[in-house]
Structure 1
Amino acid sequence: MTATTDRGAELRELAADIAAHPAVADAWLAKSFTDRVLVVTVESGATLPDAVRERLAAHDCRGANAVYDTDGPDPSAMGAAGTDEGQRHRFVDTRTRGEYQSYVID
């Protein structure tokens, strides 16, 4: 198993653990064009608990707005997940940032 595969397994396990938090509706690992992104949706009416943010930071996952230097209400918020769902947050795996390439440009 390679380090990249190990990291993916580590983050999938982290997402499953975070999804079990009472304030979290769902959490999963995704890929952007070049990065691994852990997405967290909080329950309707809830806010992302500091403990979840701290746990993600301990695993080198930082808010996407902060990593990509984009405007946002906070370092990770993406907005509402749906009409009856809570807020969605994105966290970039800064340990492997830039390792993926979804397409080739010549």
Structure 2
Amino acid sequence: MSFGMRKSERVRFERGVQVYMMGIDGTWRRDCQLIDVSQTGARLCVGSSIEGLDLKEFFLLLSSTGLAYRRCKLIRVMGDEIGIEFLAREKPKRPSRK
């Protein structure tokens, strides 16, 4: 699947937006630029190496404090750009009615 095959419409940022990738366990963090984003995923430009990182599941931190974030997984790598998919948030279980 190429970057052109989108599930939903994307918003492109001309200069990119500074964001951070962080491991689920918090053991690693990388600076990156958010190039474009949609409801289902995004494209990032990562300046440093991602080799050896577990990118099956990680956090995309949208603020430096980590208060705004999305859980993601890696979809594709093309040079210094990566495509990610946002993972669905788990819905809280409702107590059963008896």
Q: TM over 0.5, yes or no?
A: no
Larger radius of gyration: 2
TM-score, normalised relative to structure 1: 0.34
Q: Relative contact order, CA 8 A, sep 6+: which one is greater?
A: 1
TM-score, normalised relative to structure 2: 0.36
In terms of fraction of residues, the more strand-rich structure is 2
In terms of fraction of residues, the more helix-rich structure is 1
